[in-house]
Structure 1
């Protein structure tokens, strides 16, 4: 493989790291900030629960459809230019989503999904290029940036809506792509045109789509996704139905996002000491199962259950990304498994919010959604035991 890492050429790695972290802040916050505002949007546009679920589902569908092509774009025009295009699309998407019409709400979310797909796929490659000897540390840092930005957006959404209206609350997520665009553009101006990295990947000898182990990794990631996006979309509604104020529900929602960054601090060293990841996969799934049960049987302890769910879901996401490298024997296989897992993951996860909303519409209660999440978490634990075995495709 022919690859020249820019790390050897970079004189100000701290500034490069800040730029990468700024990009990371755009990968969840624009989507997850909608959750605390769903009830308001339902009232504003007379949306059914199913249609409200699609506010989160549409960008995830776009993520799944666009993700396989993001790598090809970077090979033609380079990482930085691809990221600039993605950030511009995101800025346009956020503006359209905040414009005030129902069709603009949905169309804007689709554009946001397209932009996140590009950043989500390319950021790990940029980390590997710029910090080839610090991949784990930098990946943990950008994982925390994702969680912190999502937590900030969730926690401030309702107060901003109360003071300025829902349109302004949605528009405030512009700050993340705005800062990221500024930093990436400054880097391009300072370092000139960074050429696309040329690699001779060839073709993998194995087809990951026909691999049982590959599907176990993909299903583990996808189950975590469908549970997470359903809960992150509807938790404020679940909590208000249980008697919490919208402000309290928004704070708990943000606290859950904050909890998701904790695994980024501790999971790496713990997994490094394990001979395989079966126990870790099962425990992270069980954390989610217990948390969902807690929302049903002890809703007054919602802060505790939100913290547990954030820990379990955030940890399972990080572990899923680890699986992509650990379960493959070559960069080619890792790239193929990543494309397969992320494509299926987002397409399946996209239906979580809509299905949860439909179940609520049919039953008039969130109990069916929470019980379904418990069942999926149990299946996820079982699949994780297989995906966590110390073997490769």
Structure 2
């Protein structure tokens, strides 16, 4: 009885730890969009250079994600995640320093910390809670999205009243990161069985299903990062204030959070996730089409994009665990989906901005998003069912220690 009680207590603490980690995986990124004009004006940055503030973390995801399974095999997943949280904390603190070099350097560190968390959380859920993948994926996506929504909504108000302006609005999230570090400290003493759980398979480059999961992850991420980077500017160019545009971005994310809560129930009801993923992707298409046809109805399209975006995020994260044969494959599929997926996502805000510059308007870039959402709807029909099988033999059991 005592052992059962201790095990349940340990699992509850692990869930809380994972949720607090999730709370840190977007807030330091989504607060940038509403402040981009202030950052650009204060530091004298060209638009393309300012856009790097949201592109650099994604490029860091691309570089680091494929390395995470092997790094976790070497040092242990809990230990690696703890180190990543420290790096994330340092990155946020560095962005509080009023200098362009610190702003961009801190952004790279933030990207590195988030990249590790992005890859490890689906694998840890698959390993420790294999029968609750949908529920816990929804929970951590909801926490991640909820905190990100708050970060978007309060960014401009904080910059207007706090000493330091936008520096403080970006740097204040260091407090949440410190809480995550403190809560994760007990996990650093956990056995290193996580290394065994995620190192057993090579990345499934030869699997068509793995590529479909990767494409779904990339396309929904592309949509999210385009929205959080450029939607406030689109709304401001339609005559809205910066604070109003920031709150509409908050609304988009708040609706996404509420939608994500309904996904686990829908997943339990459906035999597979094909229809659900296709319908949610089609809702995203409708939102972009609405912006293209009637941009003045910004409130409505923010809600529609939130309805589709929240569900698509949970599905993209759940696909990593649900399509994997075991926790080992979940780690490999997570690394593949997040590296290639975020490469696609990183291109989104840049191409969107370039199309705006070339066409001197927002219609061409919004049309691009309609095409991306249509492609996501098609990919969803493949990514929503099946199991990714290892195409190659397992990697060797022996993984050199840091000293070897």
TM-score, structure 2 length as denominator?
Answer: 0.87
Question: Post-superposition shift, 1:154?
Answer: 0.5
Question: Which residue is equivalent to 1:63?
Answer: 61
1:202–1:108: structure 2 CA closer, same or farther, 3 Å change rule? Answer: closer
Give the corresponding residue for 1:308.
304
On the 8 A contact 1:7/1:13 being kept in 2, the answer is: no
Q: Which runs of structure 2 are paired with 1:296-375 in the superposition (5 Å)? A: 296-375=292-371
The alignment covers a number of residue pairs equal to 384
CA distance in 2, matches of 1:8, 1:132: 19
1:16/1:321 CA distance change after superposition, 3 Å: closer
Distance 1:16 1:202 in 2: 21
Unaligned runs of 5+ in 2: 390-404
Alignment correspondent of 1:269: 265
Q: 1:200 to 1:307 in 2, by over 3 A?
A: closer
- How far apart, CA to CA, are the structure 2 residues paired with 1:303 and 1:200? 45
Offset from partner CA, 1:268-302 (integer Å, 9 cap, x none): 22122223322222211111111112223333432
| SS of match in other structure, 1:9 | helix
Answering whether residue 211 of structure 2 is matched by residue 215 of structure 1, we say: yes
Matched, 1:160 2:158: yes
1:286 alignment counterpart = 282
The structure-2 alpha-carbon separation of the partners of 1:332 and 1:195, relative to structure 1 and needing over 3 Å to count, comes to closer
Contact 1:213 1:387 in 2 (8 A): yes
Q: Deviations over 1:66-102 (max 9, x none)?
A: 1122233333333333222112211211122231222
Provide the C-alpha distance between the structure 2 equivalents of 1:377 and 1:308, rounded to a whole number of angstroms. Answer: 13
Which string of whole-angstrom CA distances, capped at 9 and with x for unpartnered residues, describes residues 280-333 of structure 1? 222111111111122233334322211221221221122123333343444444
Matched, 1:193 2:185: no
Matches within 5 A, 1:1-393: 9=7, 11=9, 13-128=11-126, 130-131=128-129, 133-164=131-162, 165-185=165-185, 187-188=186-187, 193-197=189-193, 198-199=195-196, 204=201, 208-390=204-386, 393=389
Judging changes above 3 Å, is the alpha-carbon distance between structure 1 residues 183 and 388 closer, same or farther for their aligned structure 2 residues?
Answer: closer
**1:100-126 alpha-carbon deviations (Å, 9 max, x no partner):** 222222211111000001112222344
Q: Which runs of 5+ in 1 are unaligned?
A: none
Write the distance in 2 (CA, Å) between the matches of 1:358 and 1:173. Answer: 30
**Cα 1:336–1:136 shift into 2, 3 Å:** same
> Cα gap change, 1:193/1:246 in structure 2, threshold over 3 Å: closer, same or farther?
same
Equivalent residue of 1:199, what SS? Answer: helix
Answer yes or no: is the 8 Å Cα contact 1:49–1:360 preserved in 2.
no
What SS is found at the alignment partner of 1:17? helix
Cα root mean square deviation, aligned: 2.5
Contact 2:352 2:365 (8 Å CA) reproduced: yes
Q: Structure 1 stretch 152-161 or stretch 16-25: which is displaced more?
A: 16-25
Moved more, 351-360 or 21-30: 351-360
Cα separation, partners in 2 of 1:78 and 1:287, compared to 1, 3 Å: same
Q: Deviations over 1:18-45 (max 9, x none)?
A: 2221111111111111011111112222
Query: Which range is displaced more, 333-342 or 28-37?
Result: 333-342
Report if the CA contact (8 A) 1:216-1:387 is conserved. yes
CA shift digits 1:204-226 (9 cap, x unpaired): 5x972122222222112211111
Secondary structure at the aligned position of 1:261 is classed as helix
Give the direction of change, closer, same or farther, for the CA distance of 1:282–1:130 in structure 2 (3 Å limit): closer
Name which of structure 1's ranges 44-53 and 253-262 shifts more when overlaid on structure 2: 44-53
Question: Any idea what SS the aligned residue of 1:209 has?
Answer: coil
Structure 2: distance between partners of 1:370 and 1:52: 20
- Taking structure 1 as the reference length, what is the TM-score of the superposition? 0.89
Q: Which moved more, 1:73-82 or 1:165-174?
A: 73-82
Is contact 2:124–2:327 with CA below 8 Å preserved after alignment?
no
Deviates more, 1:275-284 or 1:375-384: 275-284
Partner of 2:397: none
